[in-house]
Amino acid sequence: MSRKRGRLFVISGPSGTGKGTVCKELLKDIRNEFSVSMTTRAPREGEVHGREYYFVSRDEFLTNIEAGNFLEHATVFDNLYGTPKDMVISRLDRGYNVILDIDVQGGLQVKKAMPEAILIFILPPSLAELRKRLIGRGTEDAAKVEKRLGQALNEIRLIGEYDYYIVNEDIDEAVDLARSIIAAESARVPEAVRSIIREYEKESK
Amino acid sequence: MSRKRGRLFVISGPSGTGKGTVCKELLKDIRNEFSVSMTTRAPREGEVHGREYYFVSRDEFLTNIEAGNFLEHATVFDNLYGTPKDMVISRLDRGYNVILDIDVQGGLQVKKAMPEAILIFILPPSLAELRKRLIGRGTEDAAKVEKRLGQALNEIRLIGEYDYYIVNEDIDEAVDLARSIIAAESARVPEAVRSIIREYEKESK
């Protein structure tokens, strides 16, 4: 590996905050890549194994969990979903940043497995605005919207575990800020430089 | 103070790296401010007390050192120069970022006095390019250029103490990256959020 290693970014935020749009915009930069998840759910029409997901059996998925092959995994409606570690690492090694669009619980799992991961939290400008956006989608009734807001608050309570936050008031500004964070993190003095110097100083004492 | 507190950025780098230009560009953003230094040197024609420098007597300067009023200070050609702490803090409190254009030794003093300071190091693309730029200025003879290169290397050896580095190959890109670093740092989840949560978790155990 001669190329500079990429960085792993986790983007989380309650549903309705525009997290998906931010991620999609970031992927227009060829230095950023998504990671393809593994799932036990059946492929839908048009979905390709290795493109939308790696479609595997429940047994295969469980074997991967036991082998510690996931950065994070979760159950959604009886189906298992997970982020394969080796896929992420090989992309980082090839110099690409990896963008993971996952929920807060997943983000915390990733941080535990790879402490160098950079966690970004997308916030709505206000609870009232989030409610408005969720109602505006028209896909959920009032009770479900309130349930989503409760979930949002549970996620926001964990923001202290995140490195950065972006208040998505304007999507272009939010994307710009996400790009700035990625650029800045790529300009950090590498930990290796610090540890080499510390090592040298210890030796020369 | 109702406004969000600003952040303190130190920009250092060997002479010839374009550090001054980067700082000047950053100051075009009204959220960023310089800090006016204090000096014992005599004012030059056109210089205004409180604008270019605070011009003070040697005694007054020494009293300020003893009182711990400087974030950093240094002697250059028998004159004393220093960054007054209270000036920086009042700007930060009013919500401005403060940009300090100082050398590496000064940067390390600032970090010690205010550990929340963010240190950015400007690097030349190569030693050969730095030599070329120094010669190109035409203000120094060959021996002095080589002396400056030696000083540059002594500064670069301390890069492990810095948070970010910018390789100034193209000035516009270097300025963009500096702006990204400032934007990203302003999007960090505040330490206060973390400590409140830690406190709460301790109490609820």
Q: What is the ipTM of this complex?
A: 0.86
Partner residue facing B197 (CB), from A160, A183, A194: A160
Mutate to test the interface with B, among A7, A182, A189 (most CBs of B within 10 A): A189
Torsions phi, psi for B185 (to 5 deg) = -65, -30
Question: What average pLDDT does the segment B92-118 reach?
Answer: 94
Q: Which residues contact A162 (CB under 8 A, 6 or more apart)?
A: A12, A107, A119, A120, A121, B189
Q: Is the pLDDT of residue A192 over 90?
A: no
Please answer yes or no on whether B177 and A183 come within 8 Å at the CB atom.
yes
Q: What confidence tier does B95 reach under pLDDT thresholds 50, 70, 90?
A: very high
- B106 is a domain residue: yes
- A52 is a domain residue: no
Q: Which whole-number Å values give the CA distances from A160 to A12, A80, A119, A177, in the listed order? A: 13, 27, 10, 19
Which domain range does residue A117 map to?
8-35+97-203
Distance from the B6 Cα atom to the nearest Cα atom in chain A, whole angstroms: 16
Which among A37, A11, A8 is positioned nearest to A24, based on CA atoms? A11
- B1 is a domain residue: no
Which segments of chain B are extended strands (E)? 8-12, 32-34, 37-39, 53-55, 70-76, 79-84, 97-101, 118-123, 164-167
- A3 is a domain residue: no
Taking the Cβ of residue A180 and every Cβ of chain B, the question of whether any pair is shorter than 8 Å is answered with yes
Give the rounded percent of residues in chain A with a pLDDT score beyond 70: 98
- A114 is a domain residue: yes
Q: What is the pLDDT of residue B3?
A: 61
CATH number of the domain enclosing A153? 3.40.50.300
Surface-to-core class of residue B201, CB atoms within 10 Å of its CB (0-12 exposed, 13-18 middle, 19+ buried)? exposed
Distance from the A124 Cα atom to the nearest Cα atom in chain B, whole angstroms: 14
Number of domains within chain B: 1
- B2 is a domain residue: no
